[in-house]
Structure 1
Amino acid sequence: MYTDGGSIPKIAQAFNGFSPWGYAPAYMIHDWLFVAHHCVVDAAADARQLETADITFDDSIEILGEAIQALVASRQVAANDVTASTITSAVGTPIARNLWDRQGACEGSHVSKEHRSIAESAIPGTSAVAGRVPARGGGVEARRPTSRIITRVSF
């Protein structure tokens, strides 16, 4: 899936809490829900995406808000009442609704082979690990790549 983090206008990024990557995990969940919805609508969904078929536009807003609250509660980001409410309000606009309702958007959301290859060469093993993550209810268990200590440094 392609993502820009949060689709925060450049002018707003100057303000505290409005980085497009400030709530990155929440933004990625929201973006994935959009992709899954588009693939369900376009009858091109995989098993994981089909599990989201009953999620509505309003649900996607609520899920984003809950994900932001979870980041605050786990102290991964600082609490900021204005930012969270502004972001959840922004993703509920008619513009966002039109993007949600767009048909034919599934195909463009898939990462191209060229881009997957670039990511794989930058971080070896990433695409193989992602391919092993099971859909809920079955499949194989995800394995972590093996690592090895090559040296120790102490001062």
Structure 2
Amino acid sequence: MHGLIIATVGGERYALRMTLPAYFTLPDVGALLRRLAGGTFTMEDVRSVWRACHQGGPLAGLEAVEAAGLAGLREAALWAAMAISAGLTDPDGKHEPGGDDDTDLADIYQTGFAIGLKPREVDQMTPWEFAQCVKGWAMLHGEQKDEAPGQDELAELFGRYG
């Protein structure tokens, strides 16, 4: 499953995955990721990511992480950064989705509906997965990438128009 991180904190394992709804509950994801990865995070930064990205069941683990002290908190912050990063990148680790800062979850649902996705399907996707669905739909419907013509195409054009 794309973007799934199995975090181990204090000997316990937790599943973290940043889905689209999770992404939109986090304030300023880029700045949050920089704080988590750079060690300048707050306890609320860690809490917000764990709440948004935790998969399944009650999040009793967050209280355990908080009780684990500073070492557990640092470990939880790194896992949180990895969960954000995994949701935003392709399986090879390359950053893919961009987008408009004014985009909200309603825009995502509307786009998903337009391309044939149900809201619950959108809810289960990472931002990268959704971007790939939109790209695939656009290609299917005739949107082409801006690419330079190949040698054969150039030769044909020169032959036709001199």
- With the shorter chain as reference, the TM-score category is 0.3 to 0.5
- Compute the TM-score of the two structures, normalised by the length of structure 2: 0.32
Which is richer in helix?
Answer: 2
Structure number with greater Rg is 2
